[in-house]
Amino acid sequence: MKYEEMKGKANISTMVQFIFQGFSDLPKLQGVLFGLFVIIYMMVLIGNGLIIIVTRFDPVLQKPMYFFLANFSSLEICYVSVTLPRMLKDLWTQDRSISKAECAFQMYCFITLGATECFLLAVMSYDRYVAICNPLHYPLVMNHRTCVQLAVGSWIGGIPLQIWQTSQIFSLNFCHSKEIKHFFCDILPVLKLACGNTFLQEVTLYVAALIIVVAPFMLILVSYSKIIWTILQLPTATGRAKAFSTCSSHLMVVLLFFVSATITYLMPKSTQSSGIDKLLSLFYTTVTPMFNPMIYSLRNKDVIAALKKLFLKISGFGSVVIA
């Protein structure tokens, strides 16, 4: 019996890498999935890159709303780059192993950027609240210094908590299996591999979810309840439509992100399956960042006009070179 215990402890100590399950249950679709995710990644980079360019250089878009939009597009590129390149590598090489250190780093980057997205969406809703509910004070309240402070706070606000959370998870011993039933190192799939008592880590996860997901979402709900009430008080239908159009895109992005994230991290573990986890994670880690530039550009006349000017400059430059 003592020999078996010593052997078990040795197995725990030698577990220095994990293996992603990924999409290994779809062996005939590996090439198709690789091509699909390459297209998605390129769309995310190009779409969000264009938003960053036009909001940075177009004089019409030098407003707080577009400053935060540029930050959001930068975040989406970083967010997707944490998971998709690794997933593409696994599909291409069929080597789905990852070291414990790499897994910890990927998890830390992912959950930190996820926290940034929650905070930044809340900041963007506050910006819309001030613009619609207090338009006369908007230039004073949302001055450049305040915008920079809010953006920096969103980027770094979740770092201490996520360092602590990641270190707590990877201080555990992993003995159940080496296979992570996911396509990246997310918290719940990694926790399922831990042996021993994970109660403290699970409590930490729910506390972090309340602080990082629920609290910003409640702030967004409060902001939009006041925004909607203010819009309904406007005297003309044209004024109401114009006011609502400035925040409808952001509201769509909020719903897409928070609904899937809330289901993933706050739904009881006993009711979740790895298939549902992967589907929801694919939705908010790849699909939502791909559609966000389309949502913001197609529903915003200023962004459409700025993109048209950019394309005209590019095509005009090209014709000069050809001539």
Q: Are strands 179-180 and 17-20 parallel, antiparallel or unpaired?
A: parallel
Any idea where the domains of the chain sit in the sequence?
15-322
Closest CA to 242 of 254, 234, 250: 234
Residue 290 CA to residue 256 CA, distance in Å, equals: 12
pLDDT at 269: 56
Cβ neighbours of 206 (radius 10 Å): 12
pLDDT at 323: 39
Backbone CA torsion sign across 56, 255, 219, 165: negative
Tens of pLDDT, residues 15-73:
578 999 888 888 888 899 999 999 999 999 999 999 999 999 888 899 999 999 999 99
Closest CA to 257 of 62, 120, 59: 120
Q: Is 244 helix (H, G, I), strand (E, B) or coil?
A: helix
pLDDT at 7: 44
Residue 213 CA to residue 162 CA, distance in Å, equals: 13
pLDDT means per 10 residues, the chain with 323 residues, are 43 68 85 94 94 91 93 95 94 92 95 94 94 92 96 94 93 85 90 86 86 90 91 80 76 83 66 68 84 79 86 67 40
Q: If one looks up domain 15-322 in CATH, what number appears?
A: 1.20.1070.10
pLDDT at 297: 76
Tens of pLDDT, residues 271-298:
556 667 777 788 888 888 888 888 877 7
Host H or E run for residue 180: strand 179-180
